[in-house]
Amino acid sequence: MIKAVHNSELWQRLHSADHGVIIVVGTGQWGKTATVHSLIDSGAFRDRNVALVKYSQEFIEAHSYPDNYRAVPWPDDISDILGILHPSRDVVVVDDSIFIAGARDSGTRENKGLQKLMTIISHNELFVILTIQNTSMLDISMFQSQDVYMIHKNMDVVAIEQERDAQKISQTIANLYLQRKMKDYSGIVHPKAWGYCSTTREIIAFKLPSWWQPAMSKPFKGMVMH
């Protein structure tokens, strides 16, 4: 059976919530960014606007993003964040989140700022979506006070060996489900469309939005991140 996003328990939970953290994890080039925008396009967050952290406005304008998408900077002073993000109205996307929430950068300004933001997202009714290739790269402790939804994409065996102990089992189970679906629906569903939500224990087919372009999966191409 193919379970579309809007038929999933994940969709139901997000649609009825007003805040939360969604982490999309998996090996590079396995559709993490596309999955993020598929989830947003499904209506799970109702009619919220989408704030793309550290994207360039030129990149947004050069591609066919919907009108409710915008590029936002990460502030030098986290106290300015609510002048950039809109409480109760935004979904905040932190793509390649190692640049802000890296496990080895817990003392940086960006990391400390995100930690502070995590303590107030429920008060400000914000959803935050992060993508990462491996949770060992992520300062995951900052999310422990929030409702977290984990979506797994395919991960190669070497990367699983580097995963946090708590995530190795979840990712191994995810890989088994994902590879079975890829085989059973080969030629029907694109292999990168599948994602396994370990929070709701279901495998979901994330259909690409009609406006999606392959170049959108590489928003930081040619950029040096600071």
User: In which residue are the tokens 């690409």 written?
Assistant: 208
- For the chain, which domains are there? 5-217 (3.40.50.300)
- Alpha-carbon span 88 to 149, nearest angstrom: 19
Q: Judge whether residue 223 has pLDDT over 70.
A: no
C-alpha distance from residue 184 to each of 63, 172, 188, 191, 202 (Å): 33, 18, 9, 10, 16
Q: Is the pTM of the predicted complex or chain greater than 0.75?
A: yes
Query: ∠ CA 203-135-20 to the nearest 5 degrees?
Result: 65
- Alpha-carbon span 58 to 155, nearest angstrom: 31
Share of the chain above pLDDT 90, in %: 63
Please tell me the predicted confidence (pLDDT) of residue 103: 47
Q: In a 10 Å sphere around its CB, with 0-12 CB exposed, 13-18 middle and 19+ buried, how is residue 90 labelled? A: buried
Q: Which tens digit of pLDDT belongs to each residue from 146-165?
A: 899 999 999 999 899 988 88
The Cβ-side half-sphere exposure at 47, using a 13 Å CA radius, reads: 0
The shares of helix, strand and coil residues in the chain, as percent rounded to the nearest 5, are 40, 20, 40
